[in-house]
A and B are shown apart, each in its own frame.
Chain A
Amino acid sequence: MKTAAGYAAGLLFGIGLAVSGMTDPARVVGFLDVAGAWDPTLMFVLGGAVITTFVGYRLVFKRTAPLLGGVFQLPTKRELDAKLLGGAALFGIGWGLSGYCPGPAIASIGGLSLPLLAMLVTMVLGWFFARRFAAKRLA
């Protein structure tokens, strides 16, 4: 059941990314290019997603536990530290250069090209590197 629920969530997410235009780097960069021919599409995507999730979460959190058992796993950290802000800053640079954030990059595997493959490989390397770095700092 949990596996089926996970698949349904991924499928819906992937369809949403493709319908919205997030799987088109030109649309994403067009949104970020406020000094050029600005493409507002992404505003509708983010707006629609955040408002739907905001309303959805309010309904979901009326229950005390998830439908398939366990507990709601929400981040508990509160502090705005250098790791959060520095990481977000680096991510933004990569997002601006490529027009891909992790979701659309992975969802676009069906239309794989060499540049996208290159990005996916270094993105995964980056995740390993970040994990290593974080572990070292904690040790």
Chain B
Amino acid sequence: MDWTAGLQGLVGGVLIGLSATWLMATLGRIAGISGIVGNLITQRPKGDSAWRVAFLLGLISGPLLLMALGGGLGNVAGSPGEVIGAPVGGIGLMLVAGLLVGVGTGLGSGCTSGHGVCGLARLAPRSMAATGMFLLTALVTVYISRHLLGLGGVQ
């Protein structure tokens, strides 16, 4: 077990939790990325568009700031210290995956952040069910694609 990676995971997770707490404390909002960004893109501009745009810009500038600082704060498996890892699949696979992620989080009203972090922290039954469901299908998908179909290099 890679304890450095685990510690970085824990520190990063706490930062994500602090972000979610901060957003609820200041604006009274759930820190769900598919909801915040999805609604920003698919709705007509409304009164609450400004903080969503600001959140999106912050989200993108976070990793950029770490890259500019250097210092090996990123947690990329193949090359520790890097901030952003390489995609695991080619364009075709990613086109399909993106559509599934978009439709799925749109219909299911949330992703890993909204259901998996904020929802579980509120002990919300819908979020527990959704998180259990997407973890299950993700585990099965990785098993099938890696071990039965041999995609993405079997390890």
Binding site for B on A (CB under 8 A): 2-27, 29-30, 32-37, 39-54, 56-57, 59-60, 63, 65-68, 70-75, 77-80, 83-103, 105-111, 113-116, 118-131, 133-134
Centre residue among A47, A63, A92 by max chain B CB count within 10 A = A92
Binding site for A on B (CB under 8 A): 1-2, 5-31, 33-34, 37-38, 41-42, 50-67, 73-78, 82-91, 93-109, 111-113, 115-122, 124-126, 129-131, 133-143, 145-147, 152, 154-155
Contact A77 B62 (CB under 8 A): no
Contact B59 A20 (CB under 8 A): no
Give 15 pairs: A residue, B residue, CB < 8 Å, sorted on A.
Answer: A9-B26, A13-B31, A19-B75, A20-B16, A29-B88, A48-B17, A80-B129, A87-B108, A87-B109, A95-B134, A97-B96, A101-B111, A103-B111, A107-B62, A115-B94
Contact B152 A50 (CB under 8 A): no
Contact B137 A40 (CB under 8 A): no
Contact A8 B58 (CB under 8 A): yes
